[in-house]
Structure 1
């Protein structure tokens, strides 16, 4: 079966976002590539050359990846069209992840026990990315 990994676009703050995600989830980056180190980027604006072309952080069995949007691409917009869902392995891990993502962000739904037998909460992190954190007690 094919795997699905998440690829996020940011407006120039990919490195800050991924350093934050690394502090929340742990692990090490698989790769960090900057535009200045990539072929075919010689004609880019000087301000864009130090931005992230590609970054990858393994989380569990998946990989969270990202890039900085540069001119002339349209800026990234965030909203309610998609959320990243995390299945924690323990109640304490759910709290750690939720609190880490909520730091500087906004809580949409507090992390609480639910009627369907899970610990669940929703948060939008300080980078505008919506997350759902779940720990299934079953």
Structure 2
């Protein structure tokens, strides 16, 4: 039985009761309990080129670029897919962007979402917007709005829709 003097642990901590006289307090840091939402983009065979483009244009770092041919299941895959990307992971600051290639017969156009990128400086918004728009389609030119110093929408050359926002 738990001693009545023991109180409920504070947020971020939990108790493991060993018996009525002893307990062990474990600290759970917010990072261990946190959750992160990350866009996962599916490309039509252009994932590697897209991630190298984003790494250069956004100043990020590719942490993972796993091909089908380098996976433990490489022999079970199609030979023409050996160099296609099974999983990629790019970090830009604290943000993470992930992606992979899908076979052409399973690929669907990206729609119904935008990857939102927020900046603090209008100059950064301008630079990033124009870099991502290269060989893409501008849906809304980057401009001042009632909610932001700069806001614009585009679809890049790989078919990924972006919203650039600077508040």
Both structures adopt the same fold (TM-score exceeding 0.5): yes
Is this contact kept in 2: 1:4–1:62, CA < 8 A? no
Deviation above 2 Å: which 4+ runs of structure 1? none
Cα-Cα RMSD: 1.4
Which residue of structure 2 lines up, in the alignment, with residue 2 of structure 1?
A: 35
* 1:34-88 residue CA offsets vs partner (Å, 9 max, x unmatched): 11111123121111011111111101211101101137x6113223x01010001
2:75 matches 1:42? yes
Alignment size in residue pairs: 134
Residue segments in structure 2 that go unaligned for 5+ positions in a row: 1-33
Q: Which residue among 85, 102, 115 is the counterpart of 1:69?
A: 102
2:130 matches 1:99? yes
Which residue of structure 1 lines up, in the alignment, with residue 154 of structure 2?
A: 123
TM-score after normalising by structure 1: 0.91
2:149 matches 1:133? no
| Higher-Rg member (1/2) | 2
Is this contact kept in 2: 1:5–1:64, CA < 8 A? yes
Residue segments in structure 1 that go unaligned for 5+ positions in a row: none
What CA distance in whole angstroms lies between the structure 1 residues aligned with 2:45 and 2:96?
A: 20
TM-score after normalising by structure 2: 0.76
